[in-house]
Amino acid sequence: MPKWNMVQALQNALRVAMQRDPAVVVLGEDVGVNGGVFRVTDGLYQEFGPERVIDTPLAEAAILGTAMGMAVAGLKPVAEIQFDGFVAPAHEHLVNHIARVRWRSRGRFSAPMVIRVPSFGGIRALEHHSESIEAWYVHTPGLKVVVPSTPYDAKGLLLAAIEDPDPVLFLEPKRLYRAFREEVPEEYYTVPIGPARVVREGRHVSLFTYGSMVPVAIEAADRAREQGVEVEVIDLRTLSPLDEETITASVRKTGRAVVLNEAPRQAGLAAEIAATINDRALLYLEAPVERVTGYDTPMPYLLNEDLYLPDADRVLEAITAVHAY
């Protein structure tokens, strides 16, 4: 079995999907001849041709508007928006049309499409290239929101998203694109959209996170273990729908919870998870839920990212606080 990084796993997922189903098409800026800004679509244009791997103008609204028309007409488009901050120009199509078409048409039409977006910080990019937009779209009924953290999950979740009968926003952590390799099957498989993954079991504190923060959570959990604190690390994988059952079960076991993400703190997903814990497991809590997040500022440029993004020190501090409460 080959060992691939996340870029290679995503590329293989697209190739497998296109080989299996002629309705699958890829479109976006530079996804064809150039193979994509991060090389995820490298080689697909040469293998499947310009009618199935389509270079578009630099016009995000046009990309998603066109993709929606393709989806309603029976194709399975996989649209790429080059960077998270560039979703904003296409927001109107995404929220007012793509997410609502099944509801608006009383089930007559749907939009089986995937919007792939290289997302989050960690590569010291320019403005609008390192945003955390997940809370915008978790708040949008009609959209599923998926964030992989490993090459295996990235391939399986992307194939599941392509087969989904409704639109899926697929946020890919750029920081993890080439961070590590692991064994990934070459053949078709899916990872179901919805269930979270228990990365590591523990009995003292539950730590919920996703995407590029999963390795940070693991590092913090390793250091907590050296202090005698066993941390249960949960990779949410799907943010909408949220796996409330796994969250609740973990908190009922440990009685303590920390939520970790790199998005701004105010009204972020960490707040929603804390509220979910209050709704479903309040009487099991031994300490208030702690949040470790980014700050309520725009993502800073370049080297200042290190001051913004949560690190293992901040996570360990939160773990220690809830454990000692």
Q: What is the set of active-site residues?
A: 129
Q: Enter the tokens of residue 270.
A: 């960490």
Torsional sign, CA 50, 156, 178, 166: positive
CA distance 138 to 272: 10
- Token look-up 């440990």 returns 254
CA distance 38 to 5: 12
Which residue from 317, 294, 297 is spatially nearest to 120, judged by alpha carbons? 294
Q: Which run of H or E residues covers position 11?
A: helix 6-20
- Token look-up 């800004």 returns 37
CA distance 233 to 251: 11
DSSP 17-76: HHHH-TTEEEEETT-STT--TTSTTTTHHHHH-TTTEEE--S-HHHHHHHHHHHHHTT-E
CA distance 108 to 59: 29
Q: Enter the tokens of residue 39.
A: 């090389």
Torsional sign, CA 36, 41, 42, 45: negative
Which residue from 6, 2, 41, 11 is spatially nearest to 212, judged by alpha carbons? 6
